[in-house]
Structure 1
């Protein structure tokens, strides 16, 4: 091999190395960005679910206390409000479980993105076989969290419906 060919080969290797380093850096930035975005959006949804259902429980308990201590005595049996309180409480519980699932999904996102090997040949970043397992578990937990989020919302509306029925029965 001549000196000019050897220099050309070294230049190609250096160029390949620079491409690899850029790919590694892009992978790390993608992992950080994905994690931050997922955490931010999950936090907003989870806080909203907890706030809506928890606020409903507090409002309902305040309402029940007001009715119980009214000037003419209790207008309704507090047991009639128990189902409504249960719906809202289960809505809060579902939202808390969603929060735990969101944490797990975020951690698995990080694990999936980090479960790569950096190589010095194109494509420079290759997924390890364990990434498939992490991806499967992540998808299952993510779908479970979505189902629980919908359940929390449905429980809120069931609680509203139950409270509405209880209040309308007061006038009867």
Structure 2
């Protein structure tokens, strides 16, 4: 399991890590939120690699990797979270985003990985449960990742994630 779970208030595209996790959509062609930010900052090579490696996209709950382009990381690990607002409410799909990302990180040899809070934005997963799924999964899943970094874009989300981490670390 990760030796360290760090909570950061900031921009995931500015994290200097081995791999950044992207909350992608099924098409793997860029989008809004974290996905759009990663594609914008990473540049055209991220999209080109998505098209080459995932011509049919990825299924919900699945994970795969591409180059990170101009990001300060080596790889982007793309995961497709469930869209709660469209009725995809199976929590195991959300959990599989984190376990799958850790498995891909292990295959790549990535030891420091930055994660967004998958599905908690426009996909509408209830934030407290999204936080619980992320923290609990990252703390209990066997992996060679040394640092799993949960990156929150806003202060309130950062504080809620940190409270969960502090609560389970006691």
TM-score, normalization by structure 1: 0.20
Using structure 2 for the length normalisation, give the TM-score. 0.20
Specify which structure has the higher proportion of strand.
Answer: 2
Q: Compare the two structures and name the one with the higher helix fraction.
A: 1
